Structure 1
Amino acid sequence: MKLLKAYSGACLAAASLLAGCSEPEVQKPNIILFLVDDMGWQDTSVPFWKEKTAFNERYHTPGMERLASEGMLFTQAYASSVCSPTRVSLMSGMNAARHRVTNWTLRLNASVDAQHKLLEYPEWNVNGVQPVDSIENSIQATMLPQILKDNGYFTIHCGKAHFGAMTTPSANPLTCGFDVNIAGHAAGGLGSYLGEQNFGNKEKGVHTEPWGVPGLEKYHGDSIFITEALTIEAKKAMDQALSVEKPFYLYMAHYAVHIPLNADQRFYQKYLDLGLPESEAKYASMVEAMDKSLVDLMDYLDEKGIADNTIVLFMSDNGGFSLRPRAGELFTHNSPLQSGKGSAYEGGIREPMIVKWPGKVQPKSSCDDYLLIEDFFPSILEMAGVNDYQTVQTVDGKSFVPMLLNEGTTADGRDLFWHFPNNWGPTGPGIGATSTIRSGDWKLIYYYRDQHFELFNIPQDIGEKQNLVESNPEKVNELAQKLSDYLRSVDAQRPTLKATGKIVPWPDEARAL
């Protein structure tokens, strides 16, 4: 009997070879990248620090708690301090100093830099990232969703795009490699979260540029919050992917929790009852609405029986907004971090990040290694099993998959760089034209307006209260040199001093003066 079985198996194997059969391809994982707009490191009930804070007690994010219990929490995940640089780095794998989309984009060939009494700001790629090389003032890139699409993925964009200026190709996410575009266009904000207000459109059923959200006209006039409407549409798009039997990449890019502050009535009263000021109750309701979307998507995966083959990545695009109309003392809404959105301080660039990868990532785990937003590009491709690809751009990002698998780290011996030679508009701690390096425990910020430096040891001083420039001149010189070498290597642009008409010195040159 054993001989018969062996003979039969051999015949089947031979028949398979003759028929040209091969081993079935390993099923590619579905991927959801859940990107929140302007969400601070503390805007959650999940602690990303050594202790739980008052803000962790304020907010209610059971979805994030659930995701953290099923995946890995990253305590030192970084992005740019404003949105467009982050989103271009995500789509291209390039550092902002290289791609030169260093401020937020909107109108064709128009810089949003505010005027400054001391500095003239350099030209930058105001038209964003593009799939072609024919658009002036832009950077061409082979974009992440296009590579995934070329490798068999059904690619879905849902929510805020903000890849390129109005009227350019990438104002429409469909040109960037997405099969489906839900509500994405050139603008980085919206006029209203409320269906009763047509999501910022002046007339029901009509798209009003720039701040009206397109593509959700069927919800106009309804008492629905846009975060919920986007979630409903995202689930329909995933249904479409399942119907064609393709793995999907869902880029769930919420408009939340960007201003304006609009109350989601499902959660608003609860926060008023807790005694929060009206604006903070609105903000907290927006945070919880965002988290409810995460819950709904994870429930969807369970209902469809695909949770075990779906990777979920959670990230924010920059630090939490800490200006009016937020209530309370400005620049404190990300405490213990210093400042907020637009700032080179930790409050402007450190983000809440969680990754669930069933069967690969240990549940309830955490990682203290640092990483930067461009690292998502090679990491997602590696997680998707896409290893043979080419790009027109140089990819700066490093895969964080070794950290996810506890097989090593890409943080050791690596420096992180931020470059913002622009004027976001508001003033406040750490806000302005700066270049920054994080090297191990040390962080150096260089201010272009007066060429001064700030040096911090981040693990020892997470709030960046103690400037150690005077007591550690050798470390300042070392990091200024590293920062300058990097900026020169990518031909980074710099502001000009109005008084002299000369370009502001590189950091190492400023140290030598």
Structure 2
Amino acid sequence: MKKVYLLTAWLLGGYFLKARAQLKKTPNIIFFLVDDMGWQDTSVPFWDSITPANRKFHTPNMERLCREGTKFTNAYAHSVCTPSRVSLMTGMNVARHKVSNWTSLKNKAVDGADSLLTIPNWNVNGISPIPGQERSVYATPLPELLKQHGYYTIQCGKAHFGAYQTVGADPLNLGFVKNVGGSAAGHPASYLAEDDFGRVPGKFILQAEMPGLDKYRKHHSFLTEDLTQEAMLAMDTAQMKQQPFFLYMAHYAVHLPYNVDDRFIQRYLDMGLPKPEAAYAALVEGMDQSLGELMDYLEQHHLTNNTIIVFMSDNGGFSHPPRQGAPNTQNYPLRGGKGSLYEGGVREPMIVRWNGVTVPGSVNSQYMIMEDFYPTILEWAGIKSYKTVQTVDGRSMVPFLKNPALRDTTRAMVWNFPNDWTGGSLGDDNAWLTAIRQGKWKLVYCEKQQRLELYNLEEDIREAHNVAAAYPQKTRELAVLLTQQLKQRQAQMPLYKATGKPVPYPDVLLSGKQKL
């Protein structure tokens, strides 16, 4: 038996040596995406000073990644999960792809209880890699291009690219060759494997569907750690196949429900946090533990120098009960949270480690948005000539990574949310908004109130002071630019219930009757 073991080890060693030689030519890429993680839900400060929230959380591996890479302080996603994920997979801005809210069941959508406005006919079924699918955006998915160019593409964790019973709901239809845990579910029914991840005998629960995780069911483990183990096994497979890998490590954490991760919660209970907030902080630390384990894996397999890591969140932090504190205070100093186009709903913690390129411990203030990862990742992969059926709105971040001093303040980034995230229960900061940022200026168009709001983010990151009246020319300039961008992408607007007509574009308010 000992001889057999030695022979097997020798053979495996040969495989890994060949694999490492091959991987030197093409980088591995890990895209580490967290669900619902706010800008401040970390011991890493992404502002110019440490906040009380930074002192609450314990994320040593995010700190480690920052020491080894570049921290981005002006990184943006969209305000809700599925729109961000579709932008990542397609390179399209939400105004163009029109998957403007979270998806669930085929042809069904959350509808607001608003007396004035109703949502447009948005793409409730998400992404589709084939044409002709109703209420879906047809696009060439990022993993499909990576697979075509030799990558072993791994989807591990939350997918949520398409509605249940649609083609886009299955990551294997989008170019991933390995899927663990990904389905149409937007969050888990339970993080606890011993609770069968929330399964109920004889009852279908979409959120309990966790493909590829059956071996963990009924054992004492936590979904975050189970997904991490599967990710490492998948990377093993990629090395055995002598292929570079693209690991989309998309954790369900830190989304509700806030089940107790007993590996970490005691620290926060000892701090005096109420149990729901302690459970949330433990979810954050468990996610951070996963990041550290993946970094350790790369070191152990001598892959660190040839693996690019991105850390990102898909939308702003959840800012309502059972989180501790008054609603919309959890992302302080940012205003609002998940579902809102104010900074708390869209500004994200982002870190990139690209050994040999990014300067260890550096900070980059260039603003960027989720769809930028599509061309960036393809450039990292050395894929220069590719065709897509969709128009790609994203811009490669590679120049800014190679030249940290480079800045582009002329670029305009757009958000469009002609929806109501929760169906009318959380107020107008979470519904009926569109916005644009250019340089230090951000314009928010409150569609229901027909009001334009202007903020100088360099001086007022809290978006506490609407300076539209003080800067009418800048307000006009951005309202015109936002209108042009929305029209160019054939963006949808909410509809008036009484007439069925769409809310006017923001430049209509420039007739002198606008509410500033």
TM-score in terms of structure 1 length? 0.93
- Asked if 1:297 corresponds to 2:302, the answer is no
- Counterparts of 1:78 and 1:209 in 2: how far apart (Å)? 29
User: Per-residue deviation at 1:442?
Assistant: 0.6
Instruction: Point out where structure 1 has 5 or more consecutive residues left out of the alignment.
Output: 1-23
1:289 is paired with a residue whose SS is: helix
Instruction: Single out whichever of 395-404 and 419-428 deviates more from structure 2.
Output: 419-428
Q: 2:394 matched to which residue of 1?
A: 397
Distance 1:78 1:141 in 2: 22
Q: Which residue of 2 aligns with 1:285?
A: 282
Q: Is the 8 A contact 1:381 1:387 kept in 2?
A: yes
Give the secondary-structure state (helix, strand or coil) at the position aligned to 1:422.
strand
Aligned to 2:458: 459
Rounded Cα–Cα distance in structure 2 between residues aligned with 1:385 and 1:486? 30
Question: 1:108 Cα shift?
Answer: 0.7
1:129 to 127, 130, 140: 127
Distance, in Å, in 2 between the alignment partners of 1:158 and 1:365 is: 29
Partner in structure 1 of residue 10 of structure 2 = none
> Are 2:64 and 1:57 equivalent residues in the alignment?
no
Structure 2 letter corresponding to 1:144 = L
Instruction: Tell whether 2:82 aligns with 1:80.
Output: no
In structure 2, C-alpha distance between the alignment counterparts of 1:505 and 1:25, rounded to whole Å: 52
Asked whether the 8 Å contact 2:111–2:118 carries over to 1, the reply is no
Aligned match of 2:87:
89
- Taking the aligned partners of 1:350 and 1:137, their CA distance within structure 2 comes to 28
**1:245-292: CA deviation from partner (whole Å, max 9, x where unpaired):** 100000000000000111110000110001111111000000000000
- Are the equivalent residues in 2 in contact too, given 1:339–1:429 (CA < 8 A)? no
Q: Is the 8 A contact 1:154 1:249 kept in 2?
A: yes
Matched residue, 2:14: none
In structure 2, how many angstroms separate the alpha carbons of the residues matched to 1:394 and 1:473?
A: 33
Given the alignment of the two structures, is residue 181 of structure 1 paired with residue 179 of structure 2, yes or no?
yes
Distance in 1 of aligned mates of 2:408 and 2:339: 24
Q: 1:190 offset after TM fit, Å?
A: 1.2
Deviates most, 263-272 or 206-215:
206-215
Cα drift, residue 367 of structure 1: 0.4
Query: What CA distance in whole angstroms lies between the structure 2 residues aligned with 1:447 and 1:406?
Result: 37
| Structure 1 residue aligned with 2:321 | 324
Partner deviation per Cα, 1:90-137 (whole Å, 9 max, x = no partner): 000000000000000011111223221110211000110110012110
Partner of 1:436: 435
1:498 and 2:486 aligned: no
Tell me if structure 1 keeps the 8 A contact 2:376–2:397: yes
The match for 2:352 is 355
Which residue in 2 is equivalent to 1:3? Answer: none
Q: Is 1:195–1:219's contact at 8 Å kept on the other side of the alignment?
A: yes
In structure 2, what is the equivalent of residue 15 of structure 1?
Answer: none
Aligned counterparts of 2:316 and 2:363: Cα–Cα separation in 1 = 20
Q: Is the 8 A contact 1:371 1:411 kept in 2?
A: no
From the superposition, tell whether residues 303 and 193 of structure 1 become closer, same or farther in structure 2 (CA, over 3 Å).
same
Aligned equivalents of 1:330, 1:464: Cα separation in 2: 16
State the partner residue of 1:251. Answer: 248
CA separation in 1, counterparts of 2:23 and 2:176? 24
Distance 1:59 1:364, change over 3 A: same
Deviation at residue 494 of structure 1 after TM alignment = 1.1
User: Structure 1 residues 186-195 or 80-89, which shifts more?
Assistant: 186-195
Q: Structure 1 residues 409 and 499 mapped into 2: Cα distance closer, same or farther (>3 Å)?
A: farther
Cα displacement (A) at 1:35: 0.2
Is residue 344 of structure 2 the alignment partner of residue 344 of structure 1? no
Distance 1:391 1:500 in 2: 38
| Residues 207 and 213 in structure 1, CA contact (< 8 A), matched pair in contact too | no
Q: Percent identity?
A: 53
SS at match of 1:251: strand
Corresponding residue of 1:213: 210
- Tell me how far 1:209 sits from its aligned partner: 2.3
Cα deviation digits, residues 321-375 of structure 1 (max 9, x gap): 0011112111110101111000111000000000000111111111001001000
What is the Cα deviation at residue 411 of structure 1?
Answer: 3.1
How far apart, CA to CA, are the structure 2 residues paired with 1:289 and 1:503? 45
Q: Which amino acid aligns with 1:351?
A: E
> CA contact under 8 A between 2:23 and 2:306: conserved in structure 1?
no
Give runs of aligned pairs for residues 367-382 of structure 1, distance below 5 A.
Answer: 367-382=364-379
SS at match of 2:431: coil
Aligned to 1:447: 446
The match for 1:32 among 30, 36, 40 is: 30
Q: How does 1:223-242 map to 2 (within 5 A)?
A: 223-242=220-239
Instruction: Tell me the amino acid that sits aligned with residue 263 of structure 1.
Output: V
Deviation of 1:407 after TM superposition, in Å, equals 6.4
The Cα RMSD (Å) is 1.5
Larger Rg, first or second structure (1 or 2): 1
CA shift at 1:217, angstroms? 1.6
Contact 1:400 1:409 in 2 (8 A): no
Q: 1:331 to 1:428 in 2, by over 3 A?
A: farther
Q: Report if the CA contact (8 A) 1:88-1:163 is conserved.
A: yes
Letter paired with 1:268: I
Q: Secondary structure at the match of 1:462?
A: coil
Contact 1:339 1:428 (8 Å CA) reproduced: no
SS class of match (2:363)? strand
Which residue does the alignment assign to 1:102? 100
- Residues 181 and 209 in structure 2, CA contact (< 8 A), matched pair in contact too: no
- CA–CA separation in structure 1 for the residues paired with 2:291 and 2:408: 29
User: Which residue of structure 1 aligns with residue 111 of structure 2?
Assistant: 113
Distance 2:358 2:204 in 1: 42
C-alpha separation in 2, matches of 1:506 and 1:320: 29
SS at 1:430 equivalent: helix
CA contact (8 A) 2:496 2:502 kept: yes
Structure 2 counterpart of 1:190: 188
Matches of 2:156 and 2:70 in 1, distance apart? 24
Q: Is the 8 A contact 1:160 1:188 kept in 2?
A: yes
Q: 1:434 to 1:358 in 2, by over 3 A?
A: same
Structure 2 residue 171 is the aligned partner of structure 1 residue 158: no
How far apart are residue 211 of structure 1 and its match?
4.1
